[in-house]
């Protein structure tokens, strides 16, 4: 069974204090790993797709990396507007079922 575990559950950072969020996964053949941002009361917003170990993607202060067992979302010099819940999800290569397994998220708070 595919599993996604995100840590920490919550993270509080001072503005400018860089850190990383972790997403550990087990999947029977990775088709893609996704990162989303979710603001309170809104739907998740797509950030990145990573396909294979060693791949990296960047967007503003965010950089996502991927290994065979985990992904990291690095946040460099965060600002208060980066406060949100960040979700990780994986899609397996096998089967016709379009199953994407989501983690429970890391709630990030950036304090001015």
Partner 1 sequence: NAGVTQTPKFQVLKTGQSMTLQCAQDMNHNSMYWYRQDPGMGLRLIYYSASEGTTDKGEVPNGYNVSRLNKREFSLRLESAAPSQTSVYFCASKGQGAVNGYTFGSGTRLTVV
Residues in contact with partner 1 by CB under 8 A are 4, 31-32, 34, 36, 41-49, 51, 87, 89, 91, 97-105
Cβ proximity of 109 and 9 under 8 Å: no
Both tokens of 109, joined, read 């708070």
Please name every residue paired with 17 in a beta bridge, in sequence order, or none if there are none.
none
- Rank residues 48 and 71 by Cβ distance to partner 1 and give the closer one: 48
- Shortest distance (Å) from residue 71 CB to partner 1: 14
Q: What share of the chain is helix, strand, coil (3-state, %, to 5)?
A: 5, 60, 40
- Shortest distance (Å) from residue 112 CB to partner 1: 27
- Shortest distance (Å) from residue 52 CB to partner 1: 11
Q: Of 59, 51, 53, 21, which Cα lies nearest the Cα of 33?
A: 51
- Rank residues 8 and 16 by Cβ distance to partner 1 and give the closer one: 8
For residue 53, the 8-state DSSP code is T
- Rank residues 18 and 28 by Cβ distance to partner 1 and give the closer one: 28
- Shortest distance (Å) from residue 74 CB to partner 1: 19
């Amino acid at each position: 069974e595919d599993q996604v575990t995100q840590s920490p559950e919550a993270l509080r950072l001072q503005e400018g204090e860089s850190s990383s969020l972790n997403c550990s996964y087990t999947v029977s053949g990775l088709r893609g790993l996704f990162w989303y941002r979710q603001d309170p009361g809104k739907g998740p917003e797509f950030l990145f797709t990573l396909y294979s170990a060693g791949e990296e993607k960047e967007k503003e202060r965010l950089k996502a990396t991927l290994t065979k067992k985990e992904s990291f979302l690095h946040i460099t010099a965060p600002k208060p507007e980066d406060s949100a819940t960040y979700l990780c999800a994986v899609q397996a290569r096998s089967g016709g079922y379009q199953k994407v397994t989501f983690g429970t998220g890391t709630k990030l708070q950036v304090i001015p």
